[in-house]
Amino acid sequence: MKSGLGIFVTGSDTGVGKTMVAGGLAALLRKAGRDVGVMKPVETGVHPSPARGAVDDASFLMKMAGVKDPAELVRPVALKAPLSPYHAAAREGASVDIGAIMDAYAQLRSRHEVMIVEGAGGLMVPVTENVYMADLARMMGLPALIVVHPFLGCINQAISAATVAQAEGLDLFGIVFNAWKKGKYPAPDFP
């Protein structure tokens, strides 16, 4: 990958393994000698003190990329409810600041050769009342990498997600059919 590149990792659904794919890409790029930054612009379902052994997506991505960037840049918005960012923020009486997300991205972008950004859910998940994950990818100028689970119906989901990416003006980096089992992160020494 050349300087200035990046990927916006999205999914056909929630729980399809976006974090595993994003983390794996970050680790591979790091092992290839690239300076890779990671970002989870909005993470929902975040608890102030996770259960022992639990790891949030942003921390996992940072570990896989081997970065020490400030957590508030890597994950500028953390919400407790496991809902879309817009609905989680509404439940908490908060709002999602798109400007803060884009400022954090600009700072990370200036620090790293390649950026791996993991969205929440799919491209049409609402971040605010009028901004969707696809809008974040477009504002960041990143192509979409769509992660799909390998179950019955996945071809339709993959084509539907790719069609949305195209309709939203995003370049499609690719589609990953991910067989990672939902529920646990890999062992601490992974990869």
Task: Tell me: pLDDT of 190 over 50.
Answer: no
| CATH (one of 3.40.50.10420, 3.40.50.1980, 3.40.50.300, 3.40.50.2020) for 5-47+56-114+121-177 | 3.40.50.300
pLDDT at 154: 84
Which band of pLDDT confidence, cut at 50, 70 and 90, is reported for residue 56? confident
Per cent of the chain over pLDDT 70 is 87
How do residues 131-152 score in pLDDT, each as one tens digit? 999 999 999 999 999 999 888 8
How do residues 34-48 score in pLDDT, each as one tens digit? 999 999 999 999 876
Task: Tell me: pLDDT of 186 over 70.
Answer: no
> How far, in whole angstroms, is CA 79 from its chain's centroid?
15
Task: Tell me: pLDDT of 15 over 50.
Answer: yes
Beta bridge partners of 38: 116
Secondary structure, 3-state, the chain: CCCCEEEEEEECCCCCCHHHHHHHHHHHHHHCCCCEEEECCEECCCCCCCCCCCCCHHHHHHHHHCCCCCHHHHCCEECCCCCCHHHHHHHCCCCCCHHHHHHHHHHHHHHCCEEEEECCCCCCCECCCCCEHHHHHHHHCCCEEEEECCCCCHHHHHHHHHHHHHHCCCCEEEEEECCCCCCCCCCCCCC
Question: What's the rounded mean pLDDT across residues 99-121?
Answer: 97
- Return mean pLDDT, the chain: 89
CA atoms of 36 and 6, how far apart (whole Å): 9
Q: Is the pTM of this model over 0.75?
A: yes
Longest Cα–Cα distance in the chain: 43
Query: Which residues are the active-site residues?
Result: 40
